[in-house]
Amino acid sequence: MGIDQITSSTGGLDKNTLLLRRKVEWIFRLNTVTPFGLNESLNLSCFFTEQIISYIFLNICAIAQLLHTLIIRIWITIIYSFDDLG
pTM, entire model: 0.47
Report whether pLDDT(50) > 80.
no
**pLDDT for 20-47, tens place per residue?**
888 888 888 888 887 777 777 777 777 7
Rounded distance, CA 9 to CA 15, Å? 6
